[in-house]
Amino acid sequence: MKLLSIGNSFSQDAQEWLHQIAVANGVELETTNLMIGGCSLETHWNHMTDGETAYYLEQNGKNCNRMVTLPEGLALDEWDVVTVQQVSHHSGQPQTYIPYLTELVAFVREKCPKAKIYFHQTWAYEIDSDHGGFVNYNRDQQEMYRRIGDCAAMACRLIGADVLPSGPVVQYLRENAPEFDYKNGGLSLNRDGFHLSWDYGRYAAAATWYKVLTGKTPAVNAFPEWDAHLIEVIHNGINAVVGE
């Protein structure tokens, strides 16, 4: 399977460990991320036609030290899966999706007619996040999570896509796993209040994508040096959200 994300640092978070998980579990899954930090759907839409060499090319979780245009990125391979997403601070604001999402996906389908499109539903910020965009949600994690969910459902309907539910998995773990109940002393799944933590946060997103794309929970632990119990907790959370 060959996967391309048109994204930003949140797709970078989700992809970081995905290829490594797949390799450990005997699955051929090549991942590519077209990354502009803080990039919105509107900016991706602008880059559809302006030809700007604006995207950092990342493959299998590694920076390739190469910049490409959006059309060049789409032409790099024959993609099986293409993912799209909104920038985090606009992710719960429906007015920021239109017309950019539908026109971007129409462009992707024209260039990559065999690719299956997924919408990446990202996560709400940590409860004490100092991200400036948190004010859009009254600095309330629950409000942000709910509004992102509403927009993700809208986005999937608009473009006829399935969802990659990283955000619901992160929120489920926050609310149902004491190990990740940050407000009561558990580990935060964020490293800075908005990006995912380097280890278990990024793992939760990557394992969610792996589960959706392959239909399987990782059977082999790609990171034996990490806490096996926390990995199991994450898998249980994914199965609760995505299904066994």
Q: How many Å apart are CA 57 and CA 11, to the nearest integer? A: 12
The mean pLDDT value for 199-209 works out to: 98
How many CB atoms within 10 Å of residue 51?
11
- pTM beyond 0.95: yes
Sign of torsion, CA 16 239 124 95?
positive
> What's the pLDDT at 51?
87
pLDDT tens digit sequence for 39-59: 999 999 999 989 899 999 999
The mean pLDDT value for 96-118 works out to: 98
> What's the pLDDT at 244?
79
Flag whether pLDDT at 171 surpasses 90: yes
Flag whether pLDDT at 130 surpasses 90: yes
> What's the pLDDT at 229?
98
Q: How many Å apart are CA 206 and CA 16, to the nearest integer? A: 7
CB-based contacts of 162: which residues, under 8 Å, 6+ apart? 116, 117, 118, 119, 156, 212
CB-based contacts of 36: which residues, under 8 Å, 6+ apart? 8, 43, 54, 55, 56
**Mean pLDDT score of the chain:** 98
- DSSP readout, 161-223? -EEE-HHHHHHHHHHH-GGG-GGGT---SBSSSSSBPTTHHHHHHHHHHHHHHHS----S-S-
> What's the pLDDT at 100?
98
